[in-house]
Structure 1
């Protein structure tokens, strides 16, 4: 796998989690397609695999695969979840599926991998843990707060830390919601419902204007 041609934009690439979501397959299957050169990919100096979005679209066309719902229109809520605990990720995904809400979630165990994918994914909601290996949630949010995507992003922190411990670590950026673990799924369901209602109101206002 080589470095991308300099003429191609960095956000023309995504990570394996996002590629798996686009193709409707597992991360392991995506890695297999990369090894067989069915998908064009390279690795960053930190070892994170980047996959060409164009090669994913080419693969979809070759195999007559319909684009994933998360790539279609603005009706569905794009949610990015950063959580290093697999059981928590599985629990969240199971609840999202059960709710039947028009949302698409991409799960990440690594804050760095999620940060690299944000220009491609353009999420509207971020759910993130705070205590994670390598880049923790505090560093992640600090870095993200300097990005232009942050201004339109609804952020919920999921943590077992007390409010006092969070403040001792420097606190959270303005506007970030804090949700204590174990996660109150009824609260989270209501949060998504409220976001979707606001989006519908804004969409109607734009249509009338």
Structure 2
């Protein structure tokens, strides 16, 4: 394959409008074809990059592209909640607590940031509860990606993490518009937040149907 027919992960990230780490995750998952040189550097066929970019549901950019006709939202549909949590015990705790709240929500869980980006591209949840410290694409990378698209910027986003304030600041702090809940989680406070987000979502749907 000629040199002008391949690119680096950096170039692929620029072409796709995502981070280098996201490209690496896609390569490791086998979504984008690639190989390594003798020096250990990844090389990606440009054809594979363009094919991924053109494919439906290829990533969050596909979800962010505004459709020609915006469907009328179902005001009575459950409010969708996506929880990103890599710890199985924490996921089980979230699932048990959220099920007891009696709120009109539909909850999905992801174990890592890569899964979350795929799920966000597929369903565009109303509420995101994101852990921060995860292998590969972490919670900050997911949130940064979401806020990179105006069509997704009104998503209700909360960080749920055991990081201390100093450690959070070293990672960039809590982004504007994002709510922070420390672990162990005060589920009464989290329930109040989710309830408020549900009300906000319903009002937003009503405005769109008016």
Structure 1's consecutive aligned runs of 4 or more residues displaced over 6 angstroms after TM superposition are: none
Q: Which has the higher contact order (CA 8 A, sep 6+)?
A: 2
Q: C-alpha deviations, 1:48-75, integer Å up to 9, x for none? A: 78xx99xxxxxxxxxxxxxxxxxx9343
SS of residue paired to 1:152: coil
Query: 2:168 aligned to 166, 169, 192, which one?
Result: 166
Q: 1:174 to 1:90 in 2, by over 3 A?
A: same
Which deviates further from its counterpart, 74-83 or 134-143?
A: 134-143
Cross-structure match for 2:193: 191
Unaligned runs of 5+ in 2: 1-25, 32-55, 58-72
Q: Does 1:175 align with 2:177?
A: yes
Partner of 1:140: 142
Q: Could you tell me how far apart the structure 2 residues matched to 1:158 and 1:181 are? A: 7
8 Å CA contact 2:162–2:184 kept in 1: the answer is yes
Alignment of 1:12-161 (within 5 A): 45-47=27-29, 73-75=74-76, 76-161=78-163
TM-score by length of 2: 0.61
Cα–Cα, structure 1 residues 113 and 132, in superposed 2: closer, same or farther, change >3 Å?
same
Scaled by the length of structure 1, the TM-score of the pair is 0.61
- Cα 1:74/1:119, change in 2 over 3 Å: farther
CA contact (8 A) 1:122 1:149 kept: no
User: How far off is 1:141 after superposition?
Assistant: 1.9
Change (3 A) 1:48 1:144: farther
Unaligned runs of 5+ in 1: 1-43, 54-71
**2:82–2:107: 8 Å Cα contact kept in structure 1?**
yes
